[in-house]
């Protein structure tokens, strides 16, 4: 099996109180794929410019990422720059140059159309819909979104939400999308929009999962040192979708496991800058941290 991701590949410049990472490999599809690769083969649908460094292609190869859907266009690669203060939950965007990503119009290679597990990363909801239309018979589709689309593209976004199995978003996005401050109620409103499985990420407070008949609360890993929060959410989605795709099962308990694997991958990503920690990670470390998540929540 394989898990399809459509999203951004970018060159990120990130400043945190602990250092600076310049023109580093980033973007949602990058973090997602690197994290998912520990579970299943990621099929990456994205676009880069002809300035995209060859070494990054090597890196993708190292992660066993299927790049048939990675388009290289004439022009510059998407660049983003941001700065975090000591409160790593807050960040300022310093610059965004969409470059070739501005006119990204994802077209799936033929072999991708039979993908069963699909993650529609944060792009315009009408593009997410176009991608979904190209998938023959998906088994599980999840999407991400952002405040920009919630505020300006509510119609297309609502149509999309009615067509996916799951949405993965952060707490402030959930509140804004549902126009409801209480997260339990917000989740139910989003379910009423036609999306039965709602995953709400709360950063250092872990995450919540709402399905029609149950609720799951996953803790955050008590990290001593967070060096760079960039990519935490996308690594979460990669671990979550990668594990589901690998196991192929969608029962409640398996989805809970997938959420913990997502949390595990996010907790590793933020330990170092960019994808550095994902590069050095081992399967054994993932298993150990999964067990630690169980230990920190255990009671009877």
Is the Cβ of residue 162 or residue 181 nearer to its own copies in the bound state?
Answer: 181
Is the Cβ of residue 124 or residue 290 nearer to its own copies in the bound state?
Answer: 290
From the CB of 153, what's the least distance to its own copies, in Å?
26
CA of residue 171 relative to chain centroid, distance: 15
DSSP 54-121: HHHHHHHHHTT-B-TTEEEESSPPPEEEEEE-SSTT-EEEEEEE-GGGGG------GGGGG-SEEEE-
C-alpha distances (whole Å) from 61 to each of 11, 15, 54, 109, 282 are 17, 27, 11, 18, 17
Is the Cβ of residue 136 or residue 224 nearer to its own copies in the bound state?
Answer: 224
Residues pairing with 6 in the sheet? 45, 120
From the CB of 83, what's the least distance to its own copies, in Å?
17
Is the Cβ of residue 167 or residue 260 nearer to its own copies in the bound state?
Answer: 260
Our CA dihedral for 98, 102, 107, 113, rounded to 10 degrees, sits at 60
From the CB of 89, what's the least distance to its own copies, in Å?
10
Instruction: Reduce the DSSP state of residue 155 to 3 states and report it.
Output: helix
From the CB of 276, what's the least distance to its own copies, in Å?
20
Residues that bind its own copies (CB under 8 A): 86-87, 181-185, 202, 204-206, 208, 214-220, 222-226, 253, 256-257, 259-260, 294-300
Is the Cβ of residue 75 or residue 206 nearer to its own copies in the bound state?
Answer: 206
From the CB of 152, what's the least distance to its own copies, in Å?
24
Provide the CB-side half-sphere exposure for 274 (13 A, CA).
23
């Amino acid at each position: 099996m394989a898990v399809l991701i459509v999203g951004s590949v970018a060159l990120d410049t990130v400043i945190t109180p602990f250092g600076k990472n310049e023109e580093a490999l980033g973007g949602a599809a990058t973090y997602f794929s690197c994290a998912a690769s520990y579970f299943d083969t990621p099929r990456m649908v994205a676009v880069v410019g002809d300035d995209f460094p060859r070494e990054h292609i090597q890196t993708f190869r190292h992660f066993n990422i299927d790049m048939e859907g990675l388009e290289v266009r004439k022009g510059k690669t998407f660049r983003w720059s941001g700065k975090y203060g000591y409160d790593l939950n807050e960040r300022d965007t310093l610059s965004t140059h969409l470059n070739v990503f501005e006119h990204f119009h994802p077209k799936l290679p033929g072999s991708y159309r039979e993908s069963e597990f699909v993650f529609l990363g944060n792009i315009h909801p009408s593009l997410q819909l176009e991608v979904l239309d190209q998938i023959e018979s998906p088994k599980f589709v999840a999407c991400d979104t952002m405040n920009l689309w919630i505020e300006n593209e509510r119609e297309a976004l609502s149509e999309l939400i009615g067509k996916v199995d799951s949405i993965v978003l952060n707490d402030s996005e959930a509140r804004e999308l549902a126009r409801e401050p209480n997260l339990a109620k917000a989740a139910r409103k989003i379910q009423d929009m036609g999306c039965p499985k709602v995953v709400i990420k709360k950063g250092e407070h872990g995450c919540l999962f709402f399905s029609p008949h149950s609720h799951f609360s996953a803790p955050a890993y008590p990290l001593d040192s967070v060096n760079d929060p960039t990519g935490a959410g996308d690594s979460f989605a990669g671990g979550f979708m990668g594990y589901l795709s690998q196991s192929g099962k969608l029962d409640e308990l398996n989805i809970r496991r997938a959420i913990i694997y997502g949390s595990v991958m996010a907790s590793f990503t933020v330990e170092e800058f960019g994808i550095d920690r994902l590069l050095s990670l081992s399967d054994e470390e993932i298993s150990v941290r999964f067990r630690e998540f169980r230990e920190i929540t255990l009671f009877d």
